[in-house]
């Protein structure tokens, strides 16, 4: 990873310009830095002579990072010389360079000793750089460096303090200074497709009014590409990947693994791709071989010393929905028995087989179990099971009303919609509306919210609801799409419009977080590992499997809801035949 870099002393301008004195600098106006001027400059042959138009005194500090196929070639802070000159010289010295990062300081925001922790928050990463002045020496980190290394500004400060054996208090008492750096950010790509793009936190902003249908199709296409290009020969998908270091995490989670199996199968069916159907079968087979076992006569999904209701439910759901379910008929029967054993006569579920003293995660796991039951009932109506599911619905409705939490909403929404269609019980429909109406204000849009955060679900005043996360936005959309369909069926146009708007905003958020192309992956050497994937946040490039699976399942459903709406519209507009 790149470290915090000391600033280079100002360059001798007379020496720099001595390489080309054929034109008078005073007679030509220096170019302004822009996408156009940089793109035109890059399009010139490497050996083109540098004219005074490009070679001028540039007083603002800037960081120039050179890369070849994502790998770092050079990184340096410069002052006093034109960025065009610096790019020109580096391209001449190293023809292998195919991309540059350019961060140009445009302003300074002093950071006080009393507020440095609040100021150096995650939200600033990638939007600002950092300048640390200590004993006359300046050390800087650019916003693009923060994105490429996935390192926070607070971490840069902490590393320097550790190197100098200082506490924050001693740093400020000794005259140390902190400044946030307001920067313009450019990603430059060389070669035949020479171009320069001014970025917002290292990426291009998606317009707030861009077609949600087109965005949804693009996100689905990218995720399907990632699933297929990243599946291992044994069927496994990566659980967590860190693009900055190019390494896979050793962490794991069978709940998310099996939810990915569900998503894989649904994608294969929706896109009608035989290669994906084969991949989905291999993936489920891998997950069952790795996590399923029989213990004390019970089918369990065991991992890290525990057996969770959520993992049982999602493994069972993955088998239930698979077109190859017959291959795992015994496993499904045993998993169903274990899930049923955790149900209690008053409607609640116990959430762990073991440790036996754990009964937490009541916002997640019971909803996942109810969704498995509901889909089971769709396939094979069982009055006894339906009665149990309804009893659980009423129990957990009271639970939500006592202690509402966003994590509860999508799972119970999806289950309740199915149960409503099976029973016609209006209480189920009304609770779906109640939950999703409550959820909508937790979506961020407009105002002081950073432009690349519009559409995400996050409650900054409710830290107990958790940090912003792509997987959260994705799973909330899953429930909202079902709620939208229900509102349309009920003829509730106002509510349907609210849900549709929230979904479209959420699609924009997921599209903003997707690694779309080489621009988004400018610092990644193994691009196939990231293209199509969804980052955890705009300032956290970690790829975790549930970032993709929830979003793609929501968008596949949304596409079907849109098609159904179009079909119904065509039906109502057909001319009535003469009698």
Cβ pair 174, 166 in contact under 8 A: yes
Taken in order 100, 104, 110, 115, the sign of the CA dihedral is negative
Cβ pair 215, 454 in contact under 8 A: no
Q: Compute φ and ψ for 163, nearest 5 degrees.
A: -65, -35
Indicate the number of domains in the chain. Answer: 2
Q: At what angle do helices 408-423 and 383-402 cross, to 10 degrees?
A: 140
Q: Identify whether 104 is part of a domain.
A: yes
What is the rounded CA–CA span in Å between residue 27 and residue 259?
65
Residue 25: predicted pLDDT:
30
Residue 29: predicted pLDDT:
55
Q: Compute φ and ψ for 511, nearest 5 degrees.
A: -65, -35
Q: 75-100 burial, b for 16+ CB within 10 Å, e for fewer?
A: bebbbbbbbbbbbbebbeeeeebbbb
Of 146, 175, 198, the domain-final residue: 198
Q: Domain of residue 103: give its range.
A: 5-198
CA dihedral 412, 416, 417, 419 (to 10 degrees): 150
Q: Identify whether 308 is part of a domain.
A: yes
**Whole-structure pTM value:** 0.91
Of 204, 123, 214, residue with least CA distance to 507:
214
Q: Which residues contact 96 (CB under 8 A, 6 or more apart)?
A: 68, 73
3-class secondary structure, 527: helix
Q: Identify whether 393 is part of a domain.
A: yes
CA 101-107-110 angle, to 5 degrees, is 115
- Is there a single domain that holds both residue 348 and residue 270? yes
Q: Identify whether 205 is part of a domain.
A: no
- Is there a single domain that holds both residue 258 and residue 356? yes
- Is there a single domain that holds both residue 127 and residue 263? no
Other Cβ atoms closer than 10 A to 492: 15
Q: Identify whether 206 is part of a domain.
A: no
> Residue 464: is the preceding peptide bond cis (ω within 30°)?
no
The secondary structure of the chain in percent helix, strand, coil, rounded to multiples of 5, reads 50, 15, 35
User: What CATH number corresponds to the domain at position 313?
Assistant: 1.50.10.10
Cβ pair 76, 103 in contact under 8 A: no
- Is there a single domain that holds both residue 185 and residue 155? yes
Cβ pair 64, 90 in contact under 8 A: yes
Residue 15: predicted pLDDT:
27
3-class secondary structure, 247: strand
Of 198, 225, 243, the domain-final residue: 198
Q: pLDDT 10s digit of each residue in the chain, 579 long?
A: 345 565 544 333 232 333 333 333 333 456 789 999 999 999 998 888 898 899 998 989 999 999 999 999 999 999 999 999 999 999 989 999 999 999 999 999 999 999 999 999 999 999 999 999 999 999 999 999 999 999 999 999 999 999 999 999 999 999 999 999 999 999 999 977 899 999 999 999 999 889 999 999 999 999 999 999 999 999 999 999 999 999 999 999 999 999 999 999 999 999 999 999 999 999 999 999 999 999 999 999 999 999 999 999 999 999 999 999 999 999 999 999 999 999 999 999 999 999 999 999 999 999 999 999 999 999 999 999 999 999 999 999 999 999 999 999 999 999 999 999 999 999 999 999 999 999 999 999 999 999 999 999 999 999 999 999 999 999 999 999 999 999 999 999 999 999 999 999 999 999 999 999 999 999 999 999 999 999 999 999 999 999 999 999 999 999 999 877 656 655 544 433 332
Greatest CA separation found in the chain? 94
Taken in order 149, 150, 151, 152, the sign of the CA dihedral is positive
DSSP string, 392-438: HHHHHHHHHHHS--TTHHHHHHHHHHHHHHHH--HHHHHHHHHHHHH
- Is there a single domain that holds both residue 190 and residue 294? no
- Is there a single domain that holds both residue 354 and residue 426? yes
- Is there a single domain that holds both residue 188 and residue 219? no
DSSP class of residue 34 equals: -
Q: Identify whether 579 is part of a domain.
A: no
What are the helix (H) ranges across 272-364? 274-291, 309-321, 329-341
Residue 566: predicted pLDDT:
58
Q: Which residues contact 13 (CB under 8 A, 6 or more apart)?
A: 57, 80, 81
- Is there a single domain that holds both residue 172 and residue 121? yes
Q: Which residues contact 135 (CB under 8 A, 6 or more apart)?
A: 174, 175
The single residue listed with the structure tokens 């100002």 is 10
Of 426, 405, 406, residue with least CA distance to 416:
426
Cβ pair 139, 4 in contact under 8 A: yes
Give the DSSP H or E segment for 13.
Answer: helix 13-17
- Is there a single domain that holds both residue 358 and residue 232? yes
Q: What order do you get walking across the sheet with 247-248 strand by strand?
A: 247-248, 240-242, 543-544
Half-sphere exposure at residue 348, Cβ-oriented, CA atoms within 13 angstroms: 11
Q: Compute φ and ψ for 119, nearest 5 degrees.
A: -70, -40
- Is there a single domain that holds both residue 155 and residue 248? no
Q: Identify whether 571 is part of a domain.
A: no
Q: Identify whether 78 is part of a domain.
A: yes
Residue 191: predicted pLDDT:
78
- Is there a single domain that holds both residue 283 and residue 176? no
Of 156, 173, 198, the domain-final residue: 198
- Is there a single domain that holds both residue 157 and residue 230? no
């Amino acid at each position: 990873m790149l470290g915090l870099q000391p600033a280079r002393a100002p360059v001798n301008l007379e020496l720099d310009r001595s390489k080309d004195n054929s034109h008078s600098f005073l007679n030509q106006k220096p170019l302004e830095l822009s996408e156009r001027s940089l793109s035109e400059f890059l399009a010139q042959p490497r050996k083109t002579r540098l004219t005074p138009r490009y070679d001028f005194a540039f007083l603002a500090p800037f960081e120039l990072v050179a890369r070849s196929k994502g790998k770092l070639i050079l990184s340096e802070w410069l002052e006093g010389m034109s960025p065009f000159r610096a790019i020109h010289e580096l391209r001449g010295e190293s023809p292998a360079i195919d991309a540059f990062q350019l961060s140009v300081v445009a302003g300074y925001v002093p950071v006080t000793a009393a507020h440095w922790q609040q100021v150096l928050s995650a939200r600033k990463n990638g939007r600002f750089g950092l300048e640390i002045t200590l004993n006359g020496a300046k050390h800087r980190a650019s916003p693009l460096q923060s994105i490429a290394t996935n390192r926070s500004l607070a971490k840069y400060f902490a590393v320097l303090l550790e190197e100098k054996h200082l506490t924050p208090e001693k740093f400020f008492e000794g005259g140390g200074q902190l400044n946030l750096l307001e920067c313009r950010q450019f990603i430059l790509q060389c070669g035949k497709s020479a171009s320069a793009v001014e970025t917002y936190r290292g990426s291009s902003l998606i317009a707030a009014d861009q077609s949600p249908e087109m965005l949804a199709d693009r996100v689905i296409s990218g995720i399907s590409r990632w699933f297929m290009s990243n599946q291992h020969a044994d069927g496994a998908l990566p659980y967590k990947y860190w693009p900055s270091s190019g390494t896979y995490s050793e962490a794991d989670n069978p709940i998310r693994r099996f939810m990915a199996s569900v998503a894989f199968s649904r994608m294969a069916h929706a896109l009608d791709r035989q290669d994906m159907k084969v991949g989905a079968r291999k993936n489920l087979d891998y997950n069952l071989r790795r996590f399923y076992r029989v213990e004390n006569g019970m089918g369990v999904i065991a991992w890290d010393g525990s057996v969770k209701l959520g993992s049982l439910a999602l493994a069972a759901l993955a088998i239930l929905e698979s077109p190859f379910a017959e291959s795992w008929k015994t496993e499904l029967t045993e998993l169903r028995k274990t899930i049923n054993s955790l149900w209690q006569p008053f409607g609640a579920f116990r959430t762990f087989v073991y440790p036996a003293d754990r009964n937490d995660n009541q916002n997640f796991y019971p909803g996942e179990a109810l969704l498995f039951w509901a889909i089971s009932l769709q396939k094979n109506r069982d009055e006894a099971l339906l009665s149990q599911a309804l009893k659980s619905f009423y129990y957990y409705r009271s639970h939500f009303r006592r202690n509402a939490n966003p994590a509860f909403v999508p799972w119970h929404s999806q289950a309740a919609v199915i149960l409503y269609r099976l029973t016609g019980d209006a209480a189920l429909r009304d609770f779906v509306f109640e939950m999703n109406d409550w959820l909508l204000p937790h979506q961020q849009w407009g105002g002081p919210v950073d432009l690349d955060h519009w559409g995400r679900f996050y409650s900054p005043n409710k830290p107990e609801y958790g940090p912003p996360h792509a997987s959260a936005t994705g799973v909330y959309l899953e429930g909202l799409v079902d709620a939208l369909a229900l509102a349309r069926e009920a003829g509730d146009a106002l509510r349907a419009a609210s849900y549709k708007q929230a979904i479209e905003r959420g699609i924009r958020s997921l599209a903003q977080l997707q690694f779309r192309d080489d621009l988004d992956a400018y610092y990644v050497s193994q691009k196939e590992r990231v293209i199509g994937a969804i980052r955890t946040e705009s300032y956290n490039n970690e790829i975790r499997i549930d970032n993709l699976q929830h979003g793609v399942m929501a968008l596949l459903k949304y596409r079907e809801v849109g098609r159904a709406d179009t079909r119904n519209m065509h039906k109502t507009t057909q001319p009535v035949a003469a009698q």
